[in-house]
């Protein structure tokens, strides 16, 4: 369970944090929310779909890591460290939250996270001042926060033009096992070509065309996930 504390030199001067990619929970992470600023880069490695946030019910673009819940095939195959790490994972174990005392947004750390320790990792403070690492984490969180604002506008435009449709992935493995993956959404290509010219112009001005193209092209990475799982099945 998380235990968030507002970061301060007074209470956290000795804390260090191991790299985000090493977190054990990443091994069971089958998807991750991403923001528009990183979508094209993430699409070079992962299939990009859209899914409803379990807490808010709002759509978000997601990078798919596995074909089952609690499965990260990139991690299991040894490819994880070679892939782009989404900002949401880069930012951890830090979060932005409203400080209980000042009622202002503040940088917090989950001191229960396994990466937080005092022996190894990047120091939060050096000689009482925020370290370059801590400053960078603050920048990443700011980018992430702003990114979700831009995500919302993007998703609203997609929904207004009926550009999201549910997709079912029917998967057949080499050992004969079949699997059906649901709950994901993708771009409706038929509707995309019907978008009125004035809306197309808006999409171009917002940079959406490149994002839509990257998301649609990235779906081919599903075959990579299937290939990885076939190899892992053969290895037992």
Please report, for the chain, the start and end positions of each structural domain, with discontinuous segments joined by +. Answer: 4-235
pLDDT reading at 228 higher than 70: yes
User: Of 201, 193, 140, nearest to 162 (Cα)?
Assistant: 193
Per residue in 66-101, pLDDT (tens digit) is: 999 999 999 999 999 999 999 999 999 999 987 777
Per residue in 188-204, pLDDT (tens digit) is: 999 999 999 999 999 99
User: Looking at the chain, which runs of residues are DSSP E strands?
Assistant: 4-6, 16-17, 31-33, 48-52, 59-64, 94-98, 105-110, 116-117, 122-123, 125-126, 129-130, 164-172, 178-187
Dihedral of CA atoms 59, 64, 67, 73 in degrees, nearest 10, equals -160
Task: Name the token pair of 112.
Answer: 């229960």
Separation CA 132–CA 67 (nearest Å): 37
Q: Report the pLDDT averaged over residues 119-134.
A: 96
Q: How far is CA 92 from CA 5, 25, 130, 174, 207, in A?
A: 13, 12, 17, 37, 28
pLDDT reading at 25 higher than 70: no
Give residue 19's pLDDT band: very low, low, confident or very high (50, 70, 90).
confident
Task: Name the token pair of 68.
Answer: 């089952």
Nearest-5° angle of CA 30, CA 68, CA 116? 30
Separation CA 27–CA 75 (nearest Å): 6
pLDDT value of position 36: 98
Task: Name the token pair of 33.
Answer: 């929310």
Separation CA 133–CA 11 (nearest Å): 17
Give residue 23's pLDDT band: very low, low, confident or very high (50, 70, 90).
low
User: What are φ and ψ of residue 5, in 5° steps?
Assistant: -135, 140
Separation CA 205–CA 197 (nearest Å): 12
Separation CA 50–CA 216 (nearest Å): 11
Separation CA 6–CA 127 (nearest Å): 19
User: What are φ and ψ of residue 172, in 5° steps?
Assistant: -120, 120
Q: Note whether 131 and 30 are within 8 A (CB).
A: no
Q: What is the pTM of this model?
A: 0.92
Separation CA 166–CA 234 (nearest Å): 31
pLDDT reading at 167 higher than 70: yes
Give residue 26's pLDDT band: very low, low, confident or very high (50, 70, 90).
confident
């Amino acid at each position: 369970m998380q235990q968030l504390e507002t970061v301060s030199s007074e209470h956290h001067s000795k804390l260090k944090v191991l790299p985000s990619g090493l977190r054990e929970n990443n091994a069971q992470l089958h998807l991750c929310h991403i923001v528009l600023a990183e979508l094209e880069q993430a699409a070079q490695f992962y299939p990009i779909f859209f899914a409803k946030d379990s807490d808010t019910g709002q759509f978000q673009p997601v990078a798919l890591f596995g074909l089952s819940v609690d499965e990260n095939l990139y991690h299991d195959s040894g490819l994880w460290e070679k892939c782009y790490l989404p900002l949401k994972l880069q930012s951890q174990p830090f979060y932005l939250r409203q400080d209980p005392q000042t009622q202002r947004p503040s940088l917090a750390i989950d001191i229960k996270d396994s990466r937080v320790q005092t022996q190894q990792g990047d120091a939060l403070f050096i000689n009482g001042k925020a370290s370059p690492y801590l400053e960078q984490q603050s920048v990443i969180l700011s980018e992430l926060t702003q990114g979700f604002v831009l995500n919302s506008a993007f998703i609203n435009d997609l929904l207004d033009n009926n550009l999201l449709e549910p997709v079912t992935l029917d998967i057949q493995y080499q050992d004969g096992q079949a699997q059906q993956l649901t709950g994901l959404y993708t771009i409706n290509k038929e509707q995309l070509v019907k978008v009125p010219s004035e809306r197309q112009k808006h999409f171009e001005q917002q940079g959406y065309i490149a994002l839509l193209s990257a998301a649609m092209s990235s779906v081919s990475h599903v075959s990579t996930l299937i290939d990885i799982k076939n190899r892992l099945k053969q290895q037992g």
